[in-house]
Amino acid sequence: MQLLPVIEKYLRASNTAPTRFGRDAVRDPRFVLDLRNGREPRRRTEARVLGYIDRQTRGA
């Protein structure tokens, strides 16, 4: 699965800044920027991010 397109879609839909997302989802404000620059997240991190997005979209 490609995580970055899922994150980008969430960022647009929620009007969330990439640094805010990274800070809230994985406690790393550079997370999205690093992904945009080619970083490959671990499976555990990917699951954590997807869980975060799921919780946020269900709560909205």
Q: Please, which residues have CB within 8 angstroms of residue 50's CB and are 6 or more apart in sequence?
A: 3, 6
Please check the confidence at residue 52 and state whether its pLDDT lies above 70: yes
pLDDT of residue 60: 61
Q: Which pTM does this prediction carry?
A: 0.93
d(CA 25, CA 14): 14
User: What is the dihedral sign for C-alpha 26, 31, 36, 41?
Assistant: negative
Please check the confidence at residue 1 and state whether its pLDDT lies above 80: no
Residues 3-41: pLDDT tens digits? 999 999 999 999 999 999 999 999 999 999 999 999 999
Please check the confidence at residue 59 and state whether its pLDDT lies above 90: no
